[in-house]
């Protein structure tokens, strides 16, 4: 089943989205740089794949569906901040990263579902169970700054039932319009004529890891595509990734899982990323807290595989007095005598890998820890299991 993404819009911009059949996201920033940095929005939307479901949340109106990502050229394309296409129609709303959409086989429905019915109304909460609530959206609302949010397949099914109930299904059409809180077909044939050829990041840029957020973007953009990611994701064992979640909020304290992937075998890959060579009790407790939340609220999963990914330590210190390097001198390197700091981190890693039992988390398997290495240009080369 395709993944599902909810795009947040307002009544004015929603009409523009339907007229020209596109969705987009991007922070409302003032920078005029041609590639202003919006890593969260970019990682969110690069997790979208052709055929994925698109639902719109229209502020003060509710949830409207259903659309899907169109297979035409680049899936996600970049729109310069200065002089954005449809800027006047969007009333200056910044939408840096965009994709084309079309009507879904589920149908486009006339009326929206108020947030009360979709989230809180006991009448629509299946079996009156807290495990049948829209947790992805609830926590998104707490954080309040996600223009594109992925939801799980079970959450999509719950929302779909509510949207379809007592609603009018519209004919499949080229484009639509939004007026008086209702969707209708648009008789005027409008085409999206903006530049769809500019990629948010080139292939080389995606593989260049300078910051932790670059690693998140690389994963969301290339999972299922980049072969070196299979060294961590192991589709031959865990199954093919079918759902991609970036920075999933998993508590009322706004704790965020870096990456969460669901597979076709109903296994969850829970991934924490660090852009340095580090492993300590705080990091492990953080990962286990995420695993406990997933175990409690996603009960249909068969397995939870917690994964920590860290950057490989720089091999040799550049000068005397340096501490946080694998080897402190060339002589240490030649004699394979790692630094005390490096040995302490390795010890923490080994202890973390055998400490599963003390956490008592249902369906959780042993922690997997990998390091990633890059070349002199910071281009990622691969992963090594520690």
pLDDT at residue 299 in the model: 79
Mean pLDDT of 218-241: 96
pLDDT at 162 over 80: yes
pLDDT confidence of residue 71: 81
For residues 339 and 327, the answer to whether their CB atoms sit within 8 Å is yes
Helix axes 135-143, 153-164, angle to 10 degrees: 90
Q: Is the dihedral of CA 52, 177, 16, 142 positive or negative?
A: negative
- The H or E element spanning position 267 is strand 267-274
* Unique residue bearing structure tokens 């690389």: 218
32-41, 117-126, 355-364: range with lowest mean pLDDT? 32-41
pLDDT of residue 32: 43
**CATH class of the structural domain 4-185:** alpha beta
The label of the residue with tokens 């169109």 reads 70
Share of the chain residues as helix, strand and coil, in percent rounded to the nearest 5: 30, 25, 40
Residue spans of the domains in the chain: they are 4-185, 203-385
Gyration radius of the chain over CA positions: 23
- Given a cut of 80, whether residue 44 has pLDDT beyond it is yes
Q: Please list the alpha-helical segments (H only) found in 239-303.
A: 281-297
pLDDT tops 90 at residue 254: no
Structure confidence by residue, pLDDT tens digits, 74-105: 799 999 888 899 999 999 999 999 999 999 99
- Residue 130 above 80 pLDDT? no
* CB-side neighbour CA atoms (13 Å) of 60: 7
Distance of CA 60 to CAs 122, 134, 324, Å?
Answer: 20, 18, 52
The model's pTM: 0.91
């Amino acid at each position: 089943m395709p993944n599902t993404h909810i795009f947040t819009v307002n009544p004015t911009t929603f009409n523009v989205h339907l007229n020209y059949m596109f969705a987009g996201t991007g922070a409302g920033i003032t920078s005029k740089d041609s590639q202003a940095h919006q890593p969260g929005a970019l990682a969110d939307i690069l997790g979208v794949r052709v055929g994925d479901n698109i639902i719109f949340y229209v502020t003060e109106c509710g949830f409207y569906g259903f659309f899907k990502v169109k297979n035409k050229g680049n899936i996600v394309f970049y729109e310069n901040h200065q002089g954005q296409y449809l800027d006047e129609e969007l009333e200056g709303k910044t939408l840096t990263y965009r994709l084309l959409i079309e009507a879904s086989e589920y149908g486009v429905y006339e009326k929206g579902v108020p947030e009360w019915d979709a989230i809180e109304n006991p009448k629509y909460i299946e079996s009156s169970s807290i495990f049948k609530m829209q947790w992805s959206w609830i926590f998104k609302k707490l954080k309040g700054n996600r223009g594109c949010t992925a939801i799980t397949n079970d959450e999509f099914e719950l929302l779909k039932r509510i949207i379809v109930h007592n609603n009018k299904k519209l004919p499949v059409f080229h484009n639509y319009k939004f007026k008086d809180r209702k969707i209708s077909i648009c008789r005027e044939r409008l085409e999206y004529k903006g530049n769809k050829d500019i990629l948010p990041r080139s292939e080389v840029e995606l593989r260049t890891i300078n910051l932790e957020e670059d690693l998140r973007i690389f994963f969301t953009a290339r999972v299922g595509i980049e072969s070196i990611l299979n060294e961590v994701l192991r589709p031959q064992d865990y199954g093919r990734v079918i759902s991609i979640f970036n920075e999933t909020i998993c508590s009322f304290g706004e704790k965020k899982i870096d990456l969460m992937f669901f597979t076709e075998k109903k296994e969850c890959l829970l991934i924490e990323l660090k852009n340095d060579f580090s492993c300590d009790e705080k990091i492990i407790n953080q990962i286990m807290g995420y695993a406990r939340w997933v175990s409690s609220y996603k009960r249909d999963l068969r397995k939870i595989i917690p994964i920590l990914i860290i950057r490989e330590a720089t091999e040799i210190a550049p000068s005397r007095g340096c501490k946080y390097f694998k080897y402190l001198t060339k002589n240490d390197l030649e004699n394979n005598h790692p630094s005390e700091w490096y040995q302490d981190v390795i010890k923490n890693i080994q202890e973390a890998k055998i400490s599963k039992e003390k956490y008592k988390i249902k369906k959780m398997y042993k922690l997997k820890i990998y390091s990633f290495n890059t070349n002199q240009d910071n281009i990622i080369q691969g992963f090594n299991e520690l």
